[in-house]
Chains A and B, each alone.
Chain A
Amino acid sequence: GAGVSQSPSNKVTEKGKDVELRCDPISGHTALYWYRQSLGQGLEFLIYFQGNSAPDKSGLPSDRFSAERTGGSVSTLTIQRTQQEDSAVYLCASSLGAGLDEQYFGPGTRLTVT
């Protein structure tokens, strides 16, 4: 079956522009996560969606970052007024439930801010 997909795979943008990153989770998975992976760093938790519950946004680094999940499926991560330090690989993962369920990761979106 289809795995988690993300688009675009690569995005180059100029400092100050807004970007939208998309994640299509595995059908039927209620939990969706966004992470950021910077060079030489581990995965940094950004935000978590579970069903119809309010998302946990505690990992978002600033108010320039926001995310939505429409209809319990597709999610969009938006970064406004991008900065060079936003350059990283943004990973999306989904799981059947939360906590101890295996997370299935997408291939990521590599964002470069020039």
Chain B
Amino acid sequence: AQSVTQLGSHVSVSEGALVLLRCNYSSSVPPYLFWYVQYPNQGLQLLLKYTTGATLVKGINGFEAEFKKSETSFHLTKPSAHMSDAAEYFCAVVHTGGFKTIFGAGTRLFVKA
């Protein structure tokens, strides 16, 4: 069965520092991969997704993620954190050709001034 592991339920960074949120998945074949963000008091919205093609995917608000098949990872990064990045981030996978979306437990990002 597919699963998604997000390492660290809470991550704290200083404003301007690198953001790295980790996501590993288990799947017998490479799935579709997503990152969603949930800002305080708002619904989830898509940050970026990987389906096929280039393994480095760029999303909104300066975020990007790289699909590494050998490591079964899809870590999310941003070179310089902004206060407005404080939110909860969810990694998700969908089995290729399927529809059922499996979400990770989420990582709450705190940004310190």
A residues with a Cβ closer than 8 A to B are 3-4, 31, 33, 35, 40-45, 48, 50, 56, 58-59, 91, 93, 98-100, 102-108
Q: Pull 25 A–B residue pairs with CB atoms less than 8 Å apart, ordered by A.
A: A3-B43, A31-B99, A40-B9, A41-B105, A42-B90, A42-B105, A43-B103, A45-B100, A48-B99, A58-B100, A91-B44, A93-B44, A98-B98, A99-B96, A99-B98, A99-B99, A100-B94, A102-B46, A102-B49, A103-B44, A104-B45, A105-B36, A105-B43, A105-B45, A107-B43
Closest 6 CB pairs between A and B? A98-B99, A43-B103, A42-B105, A105-B44, A105-B43, A42-B103
B105 touches A100 (CB 8 A): no
B46 touches A42 (CB 8 A): no
